[in-house]
Structures are given as C-alpha cells and as structure tokens.
Structure 1
Amino acid sequence: MTAVIETHGLTKRYRGGQPAVDRLDLSVPPGSVYGFLGPNGSGKTTTIRMLMGLIEPTAGRATVLGRPMPRSAGTVLPHVGALIEGPALYGFLSGRDNLLRYDAADPTADPRTRRARVAAALDRVGLTQAAGKKTKAYSLGMKQRLGLAAALLQPRKLLVLDEPTNGLDPQGMREIRALVRELAADGSTVFLSSHLLDEIEQVCTHAAVMAQGRLITQGPVADLAAGARGGLTVLTPDAADAARILKEQGLVGVSHEGDRVTGEPPADETDLARLNAALVHGGVRVRGFGVERASLEDAFVALTGEGFDVAG
C-alpha cells in the first residue's frame, strides 16, 4: 500500500450548484499527520464524508487503506477512527455510557475488556473526572474530546479528524495537538482537517491546500512553506529613514510601522549585506536585520491570493 488515502478526480456536485469538490487528487502517505487545509466552505468536510462512505461521489474514485470506497466500507471502517462534524451523542447518557454504547456497536470489540478500553480512552482525552456527567451538560469542547475518545476506543490504522480542536480553549488545543503527535508516533496515520493554518503548521508532516472545492497544492509542510518567500525585517528607531534607504536600494514592498520596517527579500542573498551596509552608512541605528522564514500562511496567500482565519 503506497498511500493510506488516495483519490483520483473525486468530485461531488449538488443539484443546481457549483461542485463542492472538483476533481480532487489526494495522496496521503502512511505514518503521516496529513493536514487537510482550507477556509470554511472549501470542500473539506464533503471530501471526508465521501472518503468515509457517508455520501456517494458524483465522479472519480477513492481508496482508503488500499480498498475502494464506499464499496469496501464494511472492511475498511473497523480500522478507521473518525470524528466528523462533531460527535453524535445521547444527551441523557453520561460520557462513559455513550462510549460503552459506541464500543458495543463495534463487532470487532471484545466485550470482556470494554470498560477498560472506555476508561483508557476517557483518560487519554482528559475526561475521567467528567465521565459520569450527562453529555447534555457538556461544553462544546468536552463533546469534542468525547468524540475523540470514541475514535480511540480501538487501535486504528487511520484516524480522520474533522476540525478536532473546534470549541476548545488554548490549553485544550495544545493537549489535542500533543495527542495527535502521540498517535502518529504510535503508528497511526492521521488525516486532520482544519481551517487553522497555525494548527496544521504545528502538528502536520504533510498538507493539502483546498480553495473553492479544488486542490491547490499538496506535499510535505516544510516544502510548501519553502515555496513561499519570507520577508526582510529591519528593527530600528529610525524606521522612516530606513524605509527610504531600502527603497533607494531598489527593495520592493517596503513599509514601516513603529520601529519595524519590512519588505520583500532580495533575490540574491549576497545583497543582504549590501542593504545592511547602506543602512549603517546612512546613519540608521540597526537593532535587528534578517529574513524571516516563510510560514504556511505566506504559502497559502502566495498560492491563492487570499487569506483566512489563522488563529489557533
């Protein structure tokens, strides 16, 4: 198996509208944490629903764990843990009882070790203390954690997580990101859908960028960021003079605010020394000078000409 998830020309078109997913070609390597990145409405959840056999594609094909979907759903899904569009819970039952019922619905689960598995899953997502509480009283973040616990009841070859940090506070986000790293280290492939660039950059080894239902690019996260140029930054109390000198030296996109001057870096790195010397020669007091590494946000803006929510 060369790819855990692979699609060719995968398309979903709803009646009377633009395609929600348009000729998507994905390839998710085994053992990766694969970020599926795009703004809300870009087709991420529709893609996941097709991959999991919840809806039929209009065209194209998809394989998961080497088998065609949705035809092989009965064989594939026992090896997949998924959290899609938030968990479906019985509000009148406790978190523990919800998981007991999830586990009982799994024909591969050993009933003799059910309670131990549920306890371990609750502990892994930090819900042990709230296990006896009815889920109708859970916060959105607690419900997300319980959904993750349900996905972790059995060892999984593949975990598919759709916006797993939705509703979590910053501490909860950090904990879930750490958990994702642990799962990958244990040998699972993680397919993580998110609209948070920061989240993808922190935890993912690979990523695909979606916009308006189409795949813009995919590959190792480091390579995607390397494809965008970082920015030249100068820190100085003489920002106006520094901006003027950099413009005179032919630097493009120069602007300044406070004690920070920014611009596009020169094509030749040897020009950096020349620019620094010109600033010093012009009497500018340079306190910081360098090219900042391009981020995934820089890459996305360079690819699409637009940005989206980067909080995280």
Structure 2
Amino acid sequence: MTDTAAEAGETEAETGPVPGSVIETRGLTKRYRGGQLAVDGLDLAVPAGSVFGFLGPNGSGKTTTIRMLMGLIAPTSGTAHVLGCRMPAASRTVLPQVGALIEGPALYPFLTGRGNLVRFDSADPAADPRTRRARVENALDRVGLAAAAGKKARTYSLGMKQRLGLAAALLQPRGLLVLDEPTNGLDPQGMREIRSLVRDLAAEGTTVFLSSHLLDEIEQVCTHAAVMARGRLLVQGPVAELAAGARGRLAVTTPDPGDAARILAEHGATGLVTEGDRVSADAPPGGTEPADLNAALVRGGVRVRAFGIERASLEDAFVALTGEGFDVAG
C-alpha cells in the first residue's frame, strides 16, 4: 500500500459539506503497513476563527492526523476537508491558503534569516516580487527576528529557528495556520510573544490549529481543543467546557494537616495529598456539601485557615480522560 491519493480513491477536489468548519474529518483512518492503526475513525471539527489546541500522548496519532490534513499522506479510509475542500485531492488549491510549521522548520543553513524568507517567498508563484521585501521585513518583525535577520541560519538557536519557520508561514495572509509545537525552544519571554502573536492572528480572522505538549499553553491561548489517545478522539469542544468537565479538588490550608487528612478520609474523600500545611483531595461521591466537610474539620479540632474547591484545569481533564500524565508530545 502506498501513501497516494489513489489509495484513498480520490481524484478531484470536493466541496466540504459543513459551513463554518475550517477543518472537518469524518471517519478518518490511517493504517500503516503491517497493520499498525495510527488513526481510528476520527471525527474532528475545527470552527472558523478559533485557536484550536490538538493534544495527545505519544503515539496518539496526532502527527499522522496533521500529515493527512496537509495532504502529505493519504488516509486509508474516511475523509478530511480543509478550507472546504477534500484533501489530499485539493492540495494544490488548499495549501497556498495554509501556513504551516510542522515537525520543525526546514531552513537553508548557509543563508541568513532574511535570505531564507526571500527564497521561500520566491518559490510562491502567487507572491508579487515587487512587494517581496516589505513582506519579508514585516514577517521578521512580527516574530521578533528583525535584529537577527542578517545572521546565518546555522548560527540560530532552536528558538530562533522556530521563529523563522513561523515567519515563513506568515509571509502571505492565511486562512489557516497549522503549528506543531510553535514555542519549542523558546524562553519564557519568547513563549509569551508567540502566544500574543497567535491571539492577534486569530483576531484578524486566521484560524490557528496548534499542537503542543504544554497544557498550560493550550489553556492560555486556545479557544477550543481536542484530546486524542491511541488513535481515537476522546473529546473536543471549547477549552472552558473541557476543563469544567473535570472535577475540582478540595483544598484545605491548616497547621494540622495530619488530622485534616484523617477526617477527610473518614468522610469519603479520596486521592489525598499533603504538602506542608496544605491538604488536597477528591471530594467524596454522593454530593457531600463542602460546607459539611468544613464543619467536620472544625468539630475535629482542625484549625482551618482556608477551605475551598480548586477550579479544574485542562490538565485535570486530560489526565481524567487519558489516565496519563501531561507530557503529551508526539
């Protein structure tokens, strides 16, 4: 079996059926030689104008999905529509409207940062050579590389190479931007700048599809997210709703953590963790009121300095869905 459009039985572009979705897949499946099932019946919908976070543990099928969306490999079965057109059949129509930074940028190490962008822009048949210099300088400025534009790319740090790859994706206005680990190698200030840039692009009307192993990053910048595991989609939707779906944890601050943990356990709390003067736990099943637990602590002689339910994070939702930790690169 070969990764060609013929493998998927696709010979011409097809209009996507769902208005308002920049990316839509139905039953998207990829099985490699030897029977390895990388993506299994994926139904994904990315709303127009969203910043969509794509999460999954190692081996979840995340990278394979992105490669199918970009027409780099064909699905074994199912369909993928990007910007309303069937992929990979419509690659020539769709890809000029898509900016992508996937699996790290491919750069010419002997050229300067500016020279790389000039080369990339020259390869675009739709790019007007009369305005090339302005496009290149604007892209360098947007990613914070104007001062380093004259340095050879081989001297760039990993973070600088990431910035240059992102600048290449921004040379032309894009309806869709696909970013794979866009803050990889960046220092905290660089990460904040890229997050701000992503927000600005979304405000300008660009849909951003972003994969990251940093759940905090997804929670800060994304409006929607999807979680994959073992090739299957577990959940997708607005980030706030995904986090709200995870149960928050009880948190007690007290100079009597041992007694607090004992009393909470007696009342059915589980997953107890004690760190210094702080005790956290999963609330008892059955809808026990937090006020009743607080009263029980006070009756037991525990000096309660603070008591409450912590808001569940996207990390909590991810762990609850996959049973795995939050290092989800892959």
With the shorter chain as reference, the TM-score category is over 0.9
Moved more, 288-297 or 164-173: 164-173
Residue 75 (structure 1) shift? 1.0
- Among 281, 284, 291, the residue aligned to 1:263: 281
Contact 1:23 1:214 in 2 (8 A): yes
Q: Hey, what does 1:50 align to over in structure 2?
A: 68
Q: Hey, what does 2:182 align to over in structure 1?
A: 164
Matched, 1:64 2:82: yes
Q: Hey, what does 1:119 align to over in structure 2?
A: 137
Contact 1:232 1:265 in 2 (8 A): yes
Moved more, 151-160 or 274-283: 274-283
Residue 282 (structure 1) shift? 2.0
- Among 167, 181, 194, the residue aligned to 1:149: 167
Residue 39 (structure 1) shift? 2.1
Give the gaps of 5 or more residues in structure 1: none
The one-letter amino acid paired with 1:236 is: T
Relative to the length of structure 2, the TM-score reads 0.90
Specify whether residues 264 and 7 from structure 1 end up closer, same or farther in structure 2 by C-alpha distance, changes over 3 A only: same
Superposed CA deviations along residues 107-166 of structure 1, whole A, max 9, x for unmatched, are: 221111100010000000000011011101111111100000000011111100011111
Q: Hey, what does 2:98 align to over in structure 1?
A: 80
Matched, 1:2 2:20: yes
Contact 1:208 1:218 in 2 (8 A): yes
Contact 2:268 2:284 in 1 (8 A): no
Matched, 1:275 2:293: yes
Q: Hey, what does 1:232 align to over in structure 2?
A: 250
Q: Hey, what does 2:16 align to over in structure 1?
A: none
Contact 2:143 2:164 in 1 (8 A): yes
Task: Find the aligned partners of 2:170 and 2:45 in 1 and give their Cα distance.
Answer: 24
Task: Find the aligned partners of 1:310 and 1:20 in 2 and give their Cα distance.
Answer: 16
Matched, 1:223 2:202: no
The one-letter amino acid paired with 1:288 is: A
Contact 2:273 2:281 in 1 (8 A): yes
The one-letter amino acid paired with 2:218 is: I
| Matched residue count | 311
Contact 1:236 1:285 in 2 (8 A): yes
Relative to the length of structure 1, the TM-score reads 0.95
Give the gaps of 5 or more residues in structure 2: 1-18
How large is the RMSD of aligned CA atoms in angstroms? 1.6
Q: Hey, what does 2:11 align to over in structure 1?
A: none
Task: Find the aligned partners of 2:278 and 2:35 in 1 and give their Cα distance.
Answer: 46
Q: Hey, what does 1:40 align to over in structure 2?
A: 58
Matched, 1:95 2:86: no
Q: Hey, what does 1:242 align to over in structure 2?
A: 260
Once the two structures are aligned, what percentage of the paired residues are identical?
78
Matched, 1:304 2:322: yes
Specify whether residues 289 and 310 from structure 1 end up closer, same or farther in structure 2 by C-alpha distance, changes over 3 A only: farther
Q: Hey, what does 1:290 align to over in structure 2?
A: 308
Residue 256 (structure 1) shift? 2.2
Residue 266 (structure 1) shift? 4.3
Task: Find the aligned partners of 2:63 and 2:49 in 1 and give their Cα distance.
Answer: 22
Residue 41 (structure 1) shift? 2.8
Superposed CA deviations along residues 23-65 of structure 1, whole A, max 9, x for unmatched, are: 1111000000000111233221211111111111111110000
Contact 2:56 2:328 in 1 (8 A): no
Task: Find the aligned partners of 1:107 and 1:100 in 2 and give their Cα distance.
Answer: 13
Q: Hey, what does 2:32 align to over in structure 1?
A: 14
